[in-house]
A and B are shown apart, each in its own frame.
Chain A
Amino acid sequence: MRTDALAPSTRAFRGLGAFLWTEVLVQAHEELAMATSMLVQAVLLVFVWILAPALIGVALVGAILYSTFTMGQRVLNEAAYVRIDHKANDLYLASPLSPESYFVGMAAGILLVYLPPVVILGLLAAVVIHFTVAQGLLLLALAGVVWLFSASVGYVFSTFFRDNRAIWAYSSLFFNVFGVLPPVFYPFRLFPAALHPVALLMPPSAAAALAQMSLGVTPLTSGDVALAVGGLVAETAAVFLFAIYWARRTVRGP
Chain B
Amino acid sequence: MTDLVALRSEELRKVYRSKGAPPTEALAGVSLEVRRGERVALLGRNGAGKTTFLKIASTLLRPTSGRIEVFGFDVDETPEKARPYIAVVPQEGKPFFHLTPREQVYTYLRARGLGRENAKARTEDALEKMGLTEVANRLSITLSGGQRQRAMVATVIATEAPLLFLDEPTIGMDPFARRAVWEAIRVLTRHGSTILLTTHYLDEAEALSHRLYVIERGEVLVSGTADDLKRSVGGTVKVLLPGGAARVESFRSFGSCVLDGDALTVIVTPERLGELMELAVRSKLLATVGPVTLEEAFLRVVGRSIDEN
Q: Does A1 contact B (CB under 8 A)?
A: yes
With A18-B107, A252-B59 as contacts: A94 and B88 at CB distance below 8 Å: yes
Cβ–Cβ contact A22 & B58, under 8 A: no
Cβ contacts B155-169/A at 8 Å (1 or 0 each):
110011110010000
Cβ–Cβ contact B107 & A25, under 8 A: yes
Stretch of B109-117, B173-181, B261-269, B279-287 lying at the A interface: B109-117
Q: Does B120 contact A (CB under 8 A)?
A: no
Q: Does A29 contact B (CB under 8 A)?
A: yes
Cβ contacts B78-119/A at 8 Å (1 or 0 each):
011101111111111111111100010001101111100010
With A2-B191, A7-B113, A253-B62 as contacts: A94 and B83 at CB distance below 8 Å: yes
Interface-central residue, B80, B118, B152, B191, by most chain A CB under 10 Å: B80
Interface-central residue, A25, A87, A95, A97, by most chain B CB under 10 Å: A95
Cβ–Cβ contact A94 & B59, under 8 A: yes
Alpha-carbon separation in the docked complex, A18 to B86 (Å) = 18
Q: Does B139 contact A (CB under 8 A)?
A: yes
- B301 smallest CB distance to A (angstroms): 30
Q: Does B60 contact A (CB under 8 A)?
A: yes
Q: Which among A15, A27, A90 is the interface contact of B60 at CB below 8 angstroms?
A: A90
Cβ contacts B190-224/A at 8 Å (1 or 0 each):
01110000000000000000000000000000000
Cβ–Cβ contact A253 & B61, under 8 A: yes
Q: Which among A95, A98, A252, A253 is the interface contact of B86 at CB below 8 angstroms?
A: A95
- A193 smallest CB distance to B (angstroms): 43
- B167 smallest CB distance to A (angstroms): 9
Q: Does B36 contact A (CB under 8 A)?
A: yes
11 contacts between A and B (CB under 8 A): A1-B193, A4-B114, A5-B112, A5-B160, A22-B103, A26-B98, A86-B94, A87-B94, A90-B90, A95-B111, A95-B112
Top 7 nearest A-B pairs (CB, nearest first) are A18-B110, A29-B98, A90-B90, A18-B111, A22-B107, A94-B58, A94-B88
